[in-house]
Amino acid sequence: MVLWWWSVWAGTLVVDGARWILTLDAYDEECFLLRTPTTHSSRRRNPPQLVLTGDYGLIDDVSADPLLLYVTQGSDERVIYQTRGRPSDTFRLPVQLKEQYWLCIQNSSHGPEDHHLEEPEHEDGRTRRVGLAYRLEYDHNQHDNDDDDDNNNNHHRLPQEVQSHADEWRTQSGDIHDQFRNLQSHHEYLKVRESNHRALAEHNFSAVLIWTLAEAGVVLTVACAQILYLRRFLERQNSRMY
């Protein structure tokens, strides 16, 4: 079963994204169609590069060997990125304008580049839950000191040393922002994992409680039966003596 989700960005909406909790049965795949804007929303002469960033994390306590995430580009679906067998990872890759990309994650190690090979038997046939987040945004590592085209004649440049420090600070702040968003995603995955563990613990506690009550009921029943049996036995013995 393949489920396709569509995500379309208009030319004025560049920074966007989504976070999902996906349930993948064995051999299942979920794909997201991403369409990049036709033009840059920035009016700068040298607009920054658009990048596709994101992260994913395996929520269940199972092996990540059959887990595969990949990105394809264009109508020919050429693979430009893939990672497999990792319980969690982040990705960051440049994308082009007026192009479409498929972001896919699957519970099978047989990827699009393995279509000429026979698909092997699944490792364990188990369902896996995976958290996935992705964003389309400008590359904060690419700096442009030009103002809008209308103001280029009145532009005053900063000293080179000050400008280099400013670029470095912007890069570091962008990296911190990326790491913070990845941390937010993993925090969401941890909350889901904690919820699963709590549900499992409560289920086990309920099962143990039911078993304990049933065991106590059996013990009380046997004890009462033994008391009644001994009472009747003693009554019969007394009746024989007198």
Q: What is the sign of the dihedral through the CA atoms of 171, 91, 103 and 17?
A: negative
What fold, for 2-195?
A: Jelly Rolls (2.60.120)
Tens of pLDDT, residue by residue, the chain (242 residues): 444 444 333 322 334 567 888 999 999 999 999 888 887 766 666 677 888 989 999 988 889 988 999 999 987 888 999 998 999 888 999 998 888 999 999 998 888 877 777 777 788 889 999 999 998 888 766 655 544 444 444 445 667 777 777 777 777 777 777 777 778 777 888 888 888 888 888 999 999 999 999 999 999 999 999 999 998 888 887 777 76
Q: Read off the pTM.
A: 0.66
Domain limits of the chain?
2-195
Nearest C-alpha neighbor of 132 from the set 200, 52, 37: 52
Strand arrangement of the beta sheet that strand 67-73 belongs to: 2-8, 29-35, 100-107, 67-73, 78-84
Say how many residues make up the chain: 242
